[in-house]
């Protein structure tokens, strides 16, 4: 472990002078990007952050007050015992590889670039949220997520520099050149070009979009390319907190809204300064549909190729399945033929995006049940839902078709306009939610629209000074 190197790492960077020099050249560009596009206005403050200083149980989560620019962004690969075989696909029994086989170079580079691009994108999307934080606890969580997404970018840039030579270095530079929401150099995937201008959007993003990250990383953590597998394993340990922030954030909003409804003579949360459940529902409709898009087309030769090559597996491929070749299985999918939804059997390998999306959707249902339990506990009889998977899709079979949140196929454009208006957040919804976003920065105090968490971070109390402002 070379923690005190310029670039903390457990990949023996000091033994590879060329790679080290290349990464040390990229590092100042990263820091410039962070100062320009990272959290706006808080770079000088002391934040109670978790930093990875090693990959073992003691070292991976060290907590201290640090300034974000001093966070030690490092390169950490999970340790592995013994040699492994590839595990799945066409070469399942062959030893897993430590270099990139020439024939897989393009597929692999594309996966790494797509994964890597999402990390800085999310930091860009979230950069102004600090100014409207509902508490110091939440402010600290935002920054924790942001610095770790920065580290995830480092993880992918390491792979590009170490295994893809000159093209890899060019791709690494491009990671810092694209910008979320930019008209001429946007981020690659659509969810990462959507604005996140309020904390309800932030919680929905960390719940629904970081959760795509969990499933994609888990699929890549099965990879026969050992450095990819080990990098993603370690990223997943950090990812759990991002998902916690989203899921509990939404749960805390649901609880508070239900309480405010109870307080109000007309059961109106809005009259009490809360976020009404119909707005929460429209935010779900928006972010769940963008989350589903992130899994790619239902029928995908890219997915089949990545599986065949042993590069990207299924969720828990080695634990959950016995057949790792899947050459004969078929999967039945809803597809559109002649303007109608019909069932069609597709070779399983081509349907793997949908298989991963199923895992994701089940997990989203589980979380939804938890929020509905909170509403019930607080005596509220309304319930939240997830929209049908065909609703508001931009990628795959259902893109260019219209479905309502119940899954009904709509053929008339005017009807679709009306459905869309009722089901997605309006400008007025956004403006109302933004009007609630007033900063709360007294330790232990929380904005009116959200309830406090059940406990603090790392055993600290809820009123712990998670952020200490340094007046300059
Ligand atoms: N938006 O066969 P198709 C995370 C493109 S999140 C725009 O359907 P494939 C994080 C696709 O590129 C995890 N374009 O898809 C979360 C292709 O274009 P070309 C990110 C899209 O390849 C929060 C074409 O459509 N990780 O970590 O089977 C905060 C047809 O491709 C989209 C990964 O994504 C879209 N939604 O699957 C921070 C893992 N979807 O090449 C971080 C790596 C597809 O034909 N990526 N396209 O021009 C992959 O595994 C695959 O690239 C995808 C797409 C699953 C994304
Ligand atoms: Fe990430
Ligand atoms: Fe994340």
**pLDDT, tens only, 181-203:** 999 999 999 999 999 999 999 99
The finding on whether 124 has its CB within 6 A of some atom of ligand 1 is no
Q: Whose CA is nearest to atom 50 of ligand 1?
A: 111
In this prediction, residue 54 carries a pLDDT of: 74
- Ligand 1 atom closest to the Cα of residue 115 is 26
Backbone region of residue 338 per phi and psi (left: phi > 0; alpha: psi in -120 to 50; beta: other values): left
Residue the block writes with tokens 């590092």: 27
pTM beyond 0.85, yes or no: yes
Q: Whose CA is nearest to atom 41 of ligand 1?
A: 110
More confident residue, 351 or 3: 351
Q: Whose CA is nearest to atom 46 of ligand 1?
A: 111
Whether residue 4 is predicted with pLDDT greater than 90 in this model: the reply is no
Whether residue 345 is predicted with pLDDT greater than 70 in this model: the reply is yes
**97-106 mean pLDDT:** 95
Q: Which ligand is nearest to the CA of 145?
A: 3
Whether residue 60 is predicted with pLDDT greater than 90 in this model: the reply is no
CA of 457 to the centre of ligand 3 (A): 17
**80-97 mean pLDDT:** 92
Q: Whose CA is nearest to atom 36 of ligand 1?
A: 294
In this prediction, residue 5 carries a pLDDT of: 78
- Ligand 1 atom closest to the Cα of residue 356 is 55
In this prediction, residue 52 carries a pLDDT of: 82
The finding on whether 180 has its CB within 6 A of some atom of ligand 1 is no
The finding on whether 196 has its CB within 6 A of some atom of ligand 1 is no
CA of 2 to the centre of ligand 2 (A): 23
The finding on whether 317 has its CB within 6 A of some atom of ligand 1 is no
Least confident of 333-337, 348-352, 389-393, 404-408: 333-337
- Ligand 1 atom closest to the Cα of residue 306 is 50
Residue the block writes with tokens 């990007």: 33
CA of 239 to the centre of ligand 3 (A): 5
CA of 197 to the centre of ligand 3 (A): 18
Look up residue 51 and give its DSSP letter.
E
pLDDT tens digits along 384-438: 999 999 999 999 999 999 999 999 999 999 999 999 999 999 999 999 999 999 9
In this prediction, residue 83 carries a pLDDT of: 83
CA of 316 to the centre of ligand 3 (A): 19
Residue the block writes with tokens 């997990």: 363
> Encoding tokens for residue 186?
């946007």
Q: Whose CA is nearest to atom 35 of ligand 1?
A: 189
pLDDT tens digits along 119-164: 999 999 999 999 999 999 999 999 999 999 999 999 999 999 999 9
CA of 418 to the centre of ligand 3 (A): 34
Q: Whose CA is nearest to atom 31 of ligand 1?
A: 296
What residue segments make up the domains of the chain, in order of their start?
13-468
CATH of 13-468, one of 1.10.620.20, 1.20.1440.230, 1.10.287.3510, 3.40.50.920: 1.10.620.20
CA distances from 351 to 302, 357, 397, 399 (A): 10, 10, 12, 17
The finding on whether 302 has its CB within 6 A of some atom of ligand 1 is yes
The finding on whether 305 has its CB within 6 A of some atom of ligand 1 is no
In this prediction, residue 62 carries a pLDDT of: 87
Question: CB of 304 within 8 A of CB of 310?
Answer: no
In this prediction, residue 6 carries a pLDDT of: 87
Choose one of 214, 247, 296, 395 to mutate for the ligand 1 pocket test, by most ligand atoms within 8 angstroms of C-beta. Answer: 296
The finding on whether 115 has its CB within 6 A of some atom of ligand 1 is yes
Q: Residue-wise over 168-194: b if at least 16 C-beta within 10 A, else e? A: bbebbeebbebbbeeeeebbbbebbbb
Least confident of 4-18, 142-156, 447-461: 4-18
Q: Residue-wise over 263-279: b if at least 16 C-beta within 10 A, else e? A: eeeeeebbebebbbbeb
Q: Whose CA is nearest to atom 1 of ligand 1?
A: 189
The finding on whether 298 has its CB within 6 A of some atom of ligand 1 is no
**170-176 mean pLDDT:** 98
CA distances from 418 to 402, 403, 415, 421 (A): 11, 12, 5, 5
> Encoding tokens for residue 277?
């459940």
Whether residue 472 is predicted with pLDDT greater than 70 in this model: the reply is no
In this prediction, residue 246 carries a pLDDT of: 98
Confidence of residue 3 (pLDDT cuts 50, 70, 90): low
Choose one of 38, 291, 302, 313 to mutate for the ligand 1 pocket test, by most ligand atoms within 8 angstroms of C-beta. Answer: 302
Burial (Cβ within 10 Å: 0-12, 13-18, ≥19) of residue 159: buried
Residue the block writes with tokens 């990628």: 395
Looking at 14-74, which runs of residues are DSSP E strands? Answer: 46-51, 62-67
| Average pLDDT along the chain | 96
* Percent of the chain's residues with pLDDT above 70: 98
Residue 335: its H or E element: strand 330-337
Burial (Cβ within 10 Å: 0-12, 13-18, ≥19) of residue 116: buried
State the virtual CA torsion across 42, 45, 46, 50 in degrees, nearest 10.
20
In this prediction, residue 471 carries a pLDDT of: 78
In this prediction, residue 1 carries a pLDDT of: 55
In this prediction, residue 53 carries a pLDDT of: 75
* Percent of the chain's residues with pLDDT above 90: 94
């Amino acid at each position: 472990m070379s923690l005190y190197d310029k670039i903390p790492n457990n990949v023996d960077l000091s033994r590879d002078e060329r790679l080290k020099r290349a990464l040390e050249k990229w590092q100042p560009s990263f820091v410039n990007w962070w100062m320009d596009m990272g959290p706006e206005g808080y770079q000088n403050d002391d934040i109670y952050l978790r930093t990875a200083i090693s990959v073992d149980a003691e070292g991976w989560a060290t907590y201290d007050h640090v300034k974000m620019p001093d966070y030690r962004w490092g390169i950490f690969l999970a340790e592995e015992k013994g040699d492994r075989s590839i595990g799945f696909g066409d070469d399942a029994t062959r030893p897993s590889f430590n270099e990139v086989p020439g024939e897989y170079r393009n597929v692999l580079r594309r996966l790494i670039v797509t994964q890597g691009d999402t990390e800085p994108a999310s930091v860009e999307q979230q950069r102004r949220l600090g100014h409207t934080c509902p508490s110091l606890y939440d402010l600290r969580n935002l920054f924790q997520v942001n610095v770790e997404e920065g580290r995830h970018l480092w993880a992918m840039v390491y792979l590009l520099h170490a295994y893809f030579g000159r093209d890899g270095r060019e791709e690494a530079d491009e990671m810092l050149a694209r910008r979320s929401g930019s008209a001429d150099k946007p981020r690659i995937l659509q969810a990462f070009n959507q604005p996140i201008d309020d904390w309800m959007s932030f919680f929905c993003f960390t719940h629904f979009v970081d959760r795509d990250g969990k499933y994609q990383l888990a699929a890549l953590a099965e990879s026969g390319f050992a450095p990819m597998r080990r990098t993603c394993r370690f990223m997943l340990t950090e990812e759990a907190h991002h998902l916690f922030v989203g899921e509990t954030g939404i749960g805390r909003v649901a609880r508070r809204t239900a309480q405010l409804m109870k307080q109000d003579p007309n059961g109106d949360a809005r009259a009490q300064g809360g976020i009404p459940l119909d707005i929460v529902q429209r935010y779900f409709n928006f972010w769940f549909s963008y989350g589903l898009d992130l899994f790619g087309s239902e029928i995908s030769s890219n997915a089949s190729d990545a599986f065949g090559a042993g590069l990207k597996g299924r969720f828990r491929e080695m634990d959950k399945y016995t057949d790792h070749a899947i050459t004969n299985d078929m999967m039945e999918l809803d597809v559109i033929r002649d303007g109608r939804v019909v069932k069609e059997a597709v070779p399983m390998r081509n349907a793997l995006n949908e298989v991963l999306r199923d895992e994701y959707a089940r997990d989203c249902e589980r979380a939804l049940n938890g929020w509905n339990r909170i509403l019930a506990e607080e005596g509220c009889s309304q319930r939240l839902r997830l929209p049908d998977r065909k609703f508001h899709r931009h990628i795959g079979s259902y893109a260019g078709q219209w479905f309502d949140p119940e899954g009904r196929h709509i053929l008339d454009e005017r009807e679709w306009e009306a459905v869309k208006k009722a089901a997605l957040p309006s400008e007025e919804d956004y403006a109302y939610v933004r009007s609630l976003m007033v900063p709360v920065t007294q330790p232990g105090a929380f904005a009116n629209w959200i309830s406090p968490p059940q406990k603090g971070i790392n055993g600290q109390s809820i009123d712990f000074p998670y952020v200490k402002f340094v007046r300059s």
